[in-house]
Structure 1
Amino acid sequence: MMCQGTVLFFKFIYQEFYETTSAPEQGTLFQLRNVIHRVDVSGGEGAVDKFRAHYAFIMDCLDAYILGATMKVMELECLDGMPVKWRPPPLLKTAEKSDQYQWLTKLAQEILEEHVKLDKDKNLTRMSEVAKEMDTQTLSVQGMFDDDLQKFVCTCGKQYKNLGFFKRHLVNKHNWLFRDDEDPTADTCTSECKSDSVANYRASFMKNALILRDTYDAYSMCDGGRVVRNAKFEFLCADVRKHNKYKLWLWRFMAYVIALLSPKQAYEYMWNCASNTIGGIGRNIPNDNLVELMVQLVKKKIREQGSNFTYASAVKAALSSQVQDEIKQNLQQEIQQKTKGKSRTKTNKSVDIEVMVMELIKGNLFSYIPGREFQSFRNFQDASERVNLTKLHTWVTKQKERASFEML
């Protein structure tokens, strides 16, 4: 199951956390891949070509990281042991669902705070505040531009043709503070304050893998709200990795929902992000996938025609393929015939996950040791730390100007 945003985020995770080396270090994705012998996982560009194998590997690694973090929080020596902390209350299995959910939620929140959340995540809040200030300044400066004079006119009467000179005048004479040269994500930590790059790697991977899982589930459930929310994180990752095509697509997707479409159109656009072809809850696929499936179906019809293929026959195949497929499925359901190729055998991965958990614990990935780092990921930083807000704001401002006369 892939769409534009999922493909981007999927590639981003492998670019960030999968590094092939001759001596893989304990706890890295490449080392875990070797330990459980996932020979069909190669990372890099091969991740998209073999999506299912690579996605399954990332989800198995995420489960292993979550179990390892849980063992650390509950002070478990092994997966079958008795926890020292967070011991389940008596008769939890027979308690009300709401009570079970409340206890699990508190445990999950503890794991999230201790092992997933990064100190640098607060930069996202600060970046949002700074971006709002920059938007206000940009609108104020644009409001001082006189269309008749084709100049920027200050309240003191000074006129400037050049935007840079006008900004310098506002700074020097009117005490304006522009954040163009300020990096809101700058690290103020001195050399004496060394962070644990291994812990940063672990927390960053868990955070991004959880977003990937949530995005995958959002499309499965056709949850437009989650798709839009996660697109904001994917947009930042696209900017960090210089994926301009995906960044433009994600920005326009959010622009349509937030600003360009009417409320009714935005609601329809957001909640029609996926389609269901076989029925059932959680069986939706992104519209990109549906288009690709229909294209492959039309190509198959055209190949079957052989030398009898014409433009008119191709048009008929394109117009009738979906209807024919629906009729076929309805007939199969009526005669209670099992549809071939609609389900896959589920494999038991518990052994692989348990092996990975033990590797992570041996590597001491769930402890905080200042100064340590992976040789393959020196000075590791989360994507949120590497966002250049000044350049990103300039890019978004230009896209807003283009949207005012290009889009819709």
Structure 2
Amino acid sequence: MKFIYQEFYSASSASDQGTLYQLRNLLHRVDVTGPDGVTGAFRQHFAFVEDCLDAFILAAAMDIMGMNELDDQPKEFRPPPLIQTASCDEQYSWLSSLAQEILERHVKLDKDKNPQQIAAEAMELDQNSALIQEMYDPLTRKYTCTCAKEYKSLGFFKRHLVKEHNWTFDVPEKNPSETDLIASYRGSFMKNALLLRDTYNAFRMGDGNRISRNTKFEMLCASVRGHTKYKLWLWRFQAYITAILTPKQAEEYLWNCTASTSGGVGNNIPNDNLVELHVQLVKKLIKEQGGNFTYQSAKKAALSAHLQKEMKENLEGNVAAASSGRSRTKTDSSSDLYLILKELVAAGVFRYEVGRKYDSFSNFKDVYQRINLPELHAWITKQKTRASSEMF
């Protein structure tokens, strides 16, 4: 969540139609204050991103279907006749085709930097790294090339390989003037907001496979913003699943990332949130002890916190008392969605015109375009070496 605001929220972009800051002012969401306020007002910031994403998806669908207003009849990509009476499979098939069209036309703009291309470039770096290690002689502490030249420094050796043998260690960048930076901003925001929504739903459903898949994209985002601790945690999560733990332990680790505190489908929460809730409960019990607080009383409070909470909830259920905080009133944001949608359509955010840009994001690049793959590869290689001896 904080990553999205760091990337797409700039307090100087009030005049840039379609940016998060301008849309926040349009809706008068005074409780949304950017990356610094995410921790203290997470729900408000999350709800704002969700509303923006819904409006962006609606605007993208309207553009594909040739509609200027929500009440217009589609001119292109029309739904089959009487689709409302069709079977669920037929409705799902048409919606899937529409979603795929949205992804291809409005989200996946930088074809030369898709995940498959990143994986191919990383594989090439792996092969180059393995070849370089074979050329290193630990006795002489020198790198010996196939042309018999020797180098003590890895940097000079790589320079020789690039100049004399046409090796590649860097990826050429695209000239920003050849792209539509407003479209890049829109596509990049939708990629990351969709990733946030999918991760949130994966934790709610306790879907270990989706959680694991999304951590790979999240690690790339953490690398772009320099969040080393998050990057390390996400990498170790993958390392435990794929290499370090036994198959049985890996499955347990993968499918026990969440916990259900109230039962039912879709009510899971991440384990770290569960720990935080338990810590808050223990702090509350200790605070209630006042001057009678001791180490032993704190220990008893920690061990009995869950039991006391269950007894309280059972008692409330028996006397038919509504538990405060158990349910939240759902806010109707349809009017806000309509305002955002009108703003996006008026600004032509879903057009593609080479040379357009936002003043506050004049040099904007897609998040996955900014991945420094050689640097990330070197960092992962170092972590692999550490993991071989430190992690267990």
TM-score, normalised with respect to structure 2:
0.92
**What amino acid maps onto 1:62 in structure 2?**
L
Q: Tell me the matched-pair count.
A: 392
Identity %: 53
For the pair 1:80 / 2:71, whether they are aligned, the reply is yes
3-state SS of paired residue (2:121): helix
Deviation at 1:86, TM superposition (A): 2.4
For the pair 1:258 / 2:248, whether they are aligned, the reply is no
In structure 2, the CA distance between the partners of 1:278 and 1:162, relative to structure 1 (3 Å rule), is same
Among 222, 243, 249, the alignment partner of 2:233 is: 249
3-state SS of paired residue (2:212): helix
Q: Distance in 2 between matches of 1:158 and 1:373?
A: 51
For the pair 1:326 / 2:315, whether they are aligned, the reply is no
For the pair 1:32 / 2:32, whether they are aligned, the reply is no
Q: Is the 8 A contact 1:200 1:380 kept in 2?
A: yes
For the pair 1:407 / 2:387, whether they are aligned, the reply is no
Match of residue 96 from structure 2: 105
Range 48-57 or range 316-325, more displaced:
316-325
Match of residue 180 from structure 2: 196
Range 377-386 or range 85-94, more displaced:
85-94
Consecutive unaligned residues of structure 2, counting only runs of 5 or more, are: none
Match of residue 125 from structure 1: 116
Alignment of 1:210-359 (within 5 A): 210-333=194-317, 336-359=320-343
In structure 2, the CA distance between the partners of 1:178 and 1:376, relative to structure 1 (3 Å rule), is same
Among 164, 181, 186, the alignment partner of 2:154 is: 164
Q: Distance in 2 between matches of 1:304 and 1:40?
A: 31
- Superposed CA deviations along residues 115-156 of structure 1, whole A, max 9, x for unmatched, are 111224634322211211222332344356566x47468698
In structure 2, the CA distance between the partners of 1:121 and 1:42, relative to structure 1 (3 Å rule), is farther
Deviation at 1:363, TM superposition (A): 0.3
Match of residue 381 from structure 1: 365
Among 96, 101, 116, the alignment partner of 2:107 is: 116
**What amino acid maps onto 1:341 in structure 2?**
G
3-state SS of paired residue (1:55): helix
Deviation at 1:187, TM superposition (A): 2.3
For the pair 1:90 / 2:81, whether they are aligned, the reply is yes
Deviation at 1:227, TM superposition (A): 1.1
Match of residue 60 from structure 2: 69
- Superposed CA deviations along residues 178-220 of structure 1, whole A, max 9, x for unmatched, are 433x2x2x224485xx211111111111111101100111111
3-state SS of paired residue (2:84): coil
Deviation at 1:323, TM superposition (A): 2.3
**What amino acid maps onto 2:55 in structure 1?**
A
Q: CA RMSD in A?
A: 2.6
Q: Is the 8 A contact 1:19 1:376 kept in 2?
A: yes
- Superposed CA deviations along residues 300-324 of structure 1, whole A, max 9, x for unmatched, are 1111111111111111111111122
TM-score, normalised with respect to structure 1:
0.89
**What amino acid maps onto 2:269 in structure 1?**
I
3-state SS of paired residue (1:356): helix
Deviation at 1:22, TM superposition (A): 6.9
In structure 2, the CA distance between the partners of 1:94 and 1:399, relative to structure 1 (3 Å rule), is same
Match of residue 173 from structure 2: 187
Alignment of 1:42-53 (within 5 A): 42-53=33-44
Q: Is the 8 A contact 1:27 1:359 kept in 2?
A: yes
Range 87-96 or range 330-339, more displaced:
330-339
Match of residue 130 from structure 2: 139
